[in-house]
Structure 1
Amino acid sequence: MTTGLTTIGFDADDTLWQNEQFFRLTEKRFSELLADHADGQDIGTRLLEAERRNLGLYGFGIKGFTLSMIETAVEVSGGRVPTAVISEILAAGRDMLAHPIEILPHARETLEQLAGVYRLVLVTKGDLFDQERKLAQSGLGELFDAVEIVSDKTADTYARIFTRYGDGPRHSMMIGNSLKSDVVPAIEAGSWGVHVPHELTWVLEHVEAPVAAPRFRSIADLGELPALLETIA
């Protein structure tokens, strides 16, 4: 086992399974519903503004996204959005909540290889019910020693989790597709931060990579993680 490293945290959405692509598809459907009121680019911009405003109220996840779509529909239509369109938006949100889980390549076999060697902790943010549903459907839950569903990911979040379930941040690593949520705050807490890029990452999760940080690493996919672990002393 890698000397000193005892605990590994994994993000869930777009790290272990697909997530953002369903938001993009729903946003396209949403824009089509409001095509009589504004063009797609304007609708997308105003929806993003609503999501940004509402994060502190609704948090991350599909339910907050659905409420932001409704708010945007009312706004761009000048309050004249038909009730049929509202119904379509609600149906789109329900479809997202019921969508089957699509595990990303190398996720299962990598977790199986590391389970029992390291303490594995799932650290995900978003709606509690939805994240629990996705974890249950994924069949990956039994590979984790602990699961934490949090409202946001900060350095304090990682310090608390890695102290509770491991030997502290210095002996821990966080892996995920979001530099803003998974990598930068984990490094700030004193952990390793490993970026696994996904082709679709929400714009509000974009920050610069901390390339100068000694504990920052990047891999193309989770299949490269075991080899990376062997290089970390």
Structure 2
Amino acid sequence: MQLDHIKILGFDADDTLWNNETFFREAEVDFFQLLNEYAPRAQVEKKLFEIEMQNLEQYGYGIKSFVLSMTETALFITDQKLPGRITHEILEIGKAMLAKPVKLLHEVEETLGRLTETHELVVATKGDLLDQQRKLRKSGLAKYFHHIEIMPDKQITDYQNMLARLKIPAQNFFMTGNSIKSDILPVLEMGGYAMHVPYHTTWAHEDVKDDIQSPNFYRGQTLADLLKIIEG
């Protein structure tokens, strides 16, 4: 088999195993409507993204970071005169996001069930620790994974640190995810293998040009396509 040297299969979580980004887009719409009387949507959207990028290093990724960035954006848009009712609504948006159900994507559980019979599977994701643990618990998928890695970010060093803990070289690792920037490029650069499975919406921060020519790179439409690649 072409890839019989692959020992560990890594999986992104959000928008690879279950829906996630859709909830952020829906929350943004609610947020823009809250500030509709203060500024046009385009202005609020631009400022929110700008503040999110500024806050990543301090707050990291996830819903809690998003709520803080929405609050800071609202303060800016209202010239530091943010009404209490809007602050309350922003908090309610965040709480509603945290209460969303975890809906698995197409054929995820069936695919993991087959792959765990032949390989060690790991979750390699980023975001808020408590929220990612909550989603994994609600998903019912934890039983398929040998290791869970919730990273502060997904740069090459983050993957290298994870593989060091797993005691495996990059050439024996295969990553699958929906983000070219976070799930694919770092793994290919360090000598691993990767498959991109697109999600129907992508956060602007993760949107990069897809012109990959690496022989270690594969494309899929659903997670089930990984079976054809790994099983040959």
Instruction: Give the shorter-chain TM-score range.
Output: over 0.9
Question: In 2, distance between residues paired with 1:162 and 1:221?
Answer: 25
For 1:69, the equivalent position in structure 2 comes to 70
Question: In 2, distance between residues paired with 1:230 and 1:148?
Answer: 25
Question: In 2, distance between residues paired with 1:6 and 1:157?
Answer: 19
The alignment status of 1:117 with 2:94, answered yes or no, reads: no
Question: In 2, distance between residues paired with 1:68 and 1:134?
Answer: 22
For 1:182, the equivalent position in structure 2 comes to 183
For 2:12, the equivalent position in structure 1 comes to 11
Distance apart, 1:209 and its partner CA: 2.1
For 1:46, the equivalent position in structure 2 comes to 47
SS at match of 1:92: helix
**Amino acid of the structure 1 residue aligned with 2:193:** W
Question: In 2, distance between residues paired with 1:228 and 1:9?
Answer: 14
5 Å-filtered alignment, 1:67-216, equals 67-165=68-166, 167-216=168-217
Contact kept? 1:156, 1:189, Cα under 8 Å: no
Tell me the number of residue pairs that the alignment of Structure 1 and Structure 2 aligns.
Answer: 231
Contact kept? 1:125, 1:150, Cα under 8 Å: yes
For 1:217, the equivalent position in structure 2 comes to 218
Question: In 1, distance between residues paired with 2:230 and 2:210?
Answer: 20
Question: In 2, distance between residues paired with 1:129 and 1:224?
Answer: 30
Quick one: percent identity of the two aligned structures? 41
**Amino acid of the structure 1 residue aligned with 2:178:** N
Question: In 1, distance between residues paired with 2:211 and 2:5?
Answer: 22
Distance apart, 1:100 and its partner CA: 1.1
Distance apart, 1:216 and its partner CA: 1.2
Distance apart, 1:164 and its partner CA: 2.6
For 1:23, the equivalent position in structure 2 comes to 24
| 1:95-142 alpha-carbon deviations (Å, 9 max, x no partner) | 111111011111111100101311100011010000000000000001
Distance apart, 1:162 and its partner CA: 2.5
Question: In 1, distance between residues paired with 2:103 and 2:33?
Answer: 26
Distance apart, 1:159 and its partner CA: 2.1
RMSD over aligned CA atoms reads 1.2
| 1:9-34 alpha-carbon deviations (Å, 9 max, x no partner) | 00000000000000000000000000
The verdict on how the C-alpha distance between 1:103 and 1:166 changes in structure 2, with shifts beyond 3 A counting, is farther
Question: In 2, distance between residues paired with 1:162 and 1:193?
Answer: 15
Distance apart, 1:187 and its partner CA: 0.7
**Of 24-33 and 77-86, the range deviating more from structure 2:** 77-86
The alignment status of 1:35 with 2:36, answered yes or no, reads: yes
**Of 161-170 and 137-146, the range deviating more from structure 2:** 161-170
Contact kept? 1:10, 1:176, Cα under 8 Å: yes
Question: In 2, distance between residues paired with 1:221 and 1:212?
Answer: 21
Contact kept? 1:163, 1:169, Cα under 8 Å: no
Question: In 2, distance between residues paired with 1:166 and 1:12?
Answer: 22
Question: In 2, distance between residues paired with 1:100 and 1:65?
Answer: 18
SS at match of 2:176: strand
SS at match of 1:222: coil
The alignment status of 1:59 with 2:95, answered yes or no, reads: no
SS at match of 2:224: helix
